[in-house]
Structure 1
Amino acid sequence: MSTTDHATGASGAHPRFVEALRGLGLDDLPDRIRRFPDQTRTAAEAAAAIGCELSQICKSLIFAADGVPVLVLMDGSSRVDVELVRQALGAEKVTRAKADVVRETTGYAIGGVPPFGHANPTRVLADRSLLGHSVVWAAAGTPYTVFPMAPDALVAQAGGMLVDVREAPSGAGEQSGTSGSAQ
């Protein structure tokens, strides 16, 4: 994919995402979207391109809770504890969603999933770790684009429920094998 991808608008963001921003009254946000010549599919790639801390990246991850898609928003330096997600949702089973489910649910490919503006309404869990910064950066619908937003506003726009689903750091006293994790 080149940086002149025909599927993006003037801001470089996915047209569906720009339309969603306008529908949410966020008309100024498309002007703050940054497009990079190289992909920023991973949190580390995005942080390096932006020049921010890894924890300032907001990852938008789709899981399947008892077969129903759910979006988890997590800071870029942390991993999701799948067992904590399961408990927060009261689900029997939680797994990472496959790429086709991610695209069908959100309308975006993995690496470019924004925190809101999805093709289908999805339940959203937002880890409290996102609130540790005044600004976070999230994907704008493509692996080449990101946008800045105050984390509390981002969680509100996503309709997210604040939860603690971050995996405990290694050596924090948790027994190995008691919970699953996902990036």
Structure 2
Amino acid sequence: MAIEKVREYFKTLGIEDRIKEFDVSSATVELAAEAVGTEPARICKTLSFKKPEGGCILIQTAGDTKIKNQKFKQKFGFKAKMLTPDEVIEYTGHAIGGVCAFAIERDDVDVYADESMKRFETVFPACGSSNSAIEFTCDELFEVSKAKEWIDVCDIAE
């Protein structure tokens, strides 16, 4: 199970005991916010996009945002195209509903963190399953996910 891979990765950092597992689903932003007991915007969702040359980009962003195609294309030089559910598993090892940027074992996956999360002291990304989360400061999230850089490719959804 993907959560076990994440747990093993977190164990190397001494933070595996911070994982929260729920008796209810946390597979969507709304469900995760309810399970955690926070506002949906503080849920860190991890979105996955194809790179034209192969591999993918993972963008960690606040739960109340959406990718702005123009900003994405300006940053990366190509149009945003999301991975299929099967490709998400292939590249990340995590199924939709539990996708996170932790314990990624491929070299062709680049992780970024969107500035939209910086308005919060802490955020809650999934941990590889549809009923898990962990609370991180934005700096911790950036470090633990091995993000390449902070980017600005999202706007708050209307």
Taking structure 1 as the reference length, the TM-score comes to: 0.78
> C-alpha separation between the residues in 1 aligned to 2:156 and 2:140?
26
Runs of 4+ in 1 over 4 A off after TM superposition: none
Matches within 5 A, 1:123-142: 123-142=110-129
Matches within 5 A, 1:137-148: 137-148=124-135
- How well do the aligned residues superpose, as a CA RMSD in angstroms? 1.7
Letter in 2 for 1:68: G
Conservation of the 8 A alpha-carbon contact between 1:21 and 1:30 = yes
Gaps of 5+ in 1: 1-6, 8-12, 171-183
> C-alpha separation between the residues in 2 aligned to 1:19 and 1:38?
23
Q: Structure 1 or 2: larger helix share? A: 2
**Identity across matched positions, percent:** 29
Matches within 5 A, 1:107-126: 107-121=93-107, 122-126=109-113
Taking structure 2 as the reference length, the TM-score comes to: 0.89
Q: 1:51-81 CA distances to partner (integer Å, 9 max, x unpaired)?
A: 1111111001111132531101110011112
Gaps of 5+ in 2: none
- The equivalent residue for 1:167 is 155
Q: 1:25-48 CA distances to partner (integer Å, 9 max, x unpaired)?
A: 2x1x22121111121111111001
Larger Rg: 1
Conservation of the 8 A alpha-carbon contact between 1:99 and 1:109 = yes
Question: Is structure 2 residue 18 aligned with structure 1 residue 32?
Answer: yes
- Aligned to 2:111, the other structure's residue is in SS state strand
- The equivalent residue for 1:101 is 87
- Aligned to 1:74, the other structure's residue is in SS state strand
Instruction: Name the count of aligned residue pairs.
Output: 155
> C-alpha separation between the residues in 1 aligned to 2:86 and 2:56?
12
Structure-2 change in CA distance of 1:168 and 1:50 (3 Å): closer
- The equivalent residue for 2:6 is 17
Conservation of the 8 A alpha-carbon contact between 2:92 and 2:101 = no
Letter in 2 for 1:22: K
Where relative contact order (Cα < 8 A, 6+ residues apart) is larger, the structure is: 2
